[in-house]
Amino acid sequence: MSPIILQIPFGIFSLLFVWEYIALRQNLDFSPSVYLQYVADILGRFFEACGHFVAWISSFLTVFDFDDMYKAGLRLVNPIIEIIFSGYHFVIGYVSEINIYDYPYIVIAGSIIIVGSILFAIYYFVLYKTVNAYITNFKAKVTANGPDRRCVELNLRDHPSLHIQKPDQRITRSASRNNSVNDGESDSDSDSD
């Protein structure tokens, strides 16, 4: 700790001690101990009242009977656990029913077909149509609003900067002029043949 932090309380205590010593030697009522005792009595009563209040607030648990609370908790939790694991009874019923038949694997195959059909129907009628409707809606908004910087439908086949050209197919200005002259000569050459 810093020396100044220790010096201030030590200095105050030394000053009070000298004052108290002088008041004791001179039989004076004006001493620091009288006022410090007054503050100590007030703080003692305050903190005692705070203790009573906190204990009174904390006594809310005495209202409850913990044995009955435990029984009530068990009565509530047991049906919830049975509800969560009630699918187990499906397995018991299914196994006991397929054991009646001579060929239980045929029953299992039928179950697989039924479950597969249901899953396919859910996929096709719910997910597939919903996703397609969303995409169609999205395309309609893009084409209705025109090309937008935030939302542009890309068609890569028609984009001119994405065409890959071979090095000999690159055309410069001077080469394009020469090609147009050469194209005229090649046309006349091809006509003569």
Q: Residue 144: helix, strand or coil by DSSP?
A: helix
Greatest Cα-to-Cα distance within the chain, rounded to the nearest angstrom = 144
Tell whether the model's pLDDT for residue 150 goes beyond 80: no
Q: What is the mean pLDDT of residues 145-155?
A: 49
Q: What is the pLDDT of residue 28?
A: 84
Cα 80 to Cα 84, 85, 86, 122, 186, distances in angstroms: 6, 9, 10, 29, 91
Region for residue 164 given its phi and psi (left: phi exceeds 0; alpha: psi -120 to 50; beta: otherwise): beta
Band the pLDDT of 149: cuts 50, 70, 90. Answer: very low
pLDDT above 70 for 192: no
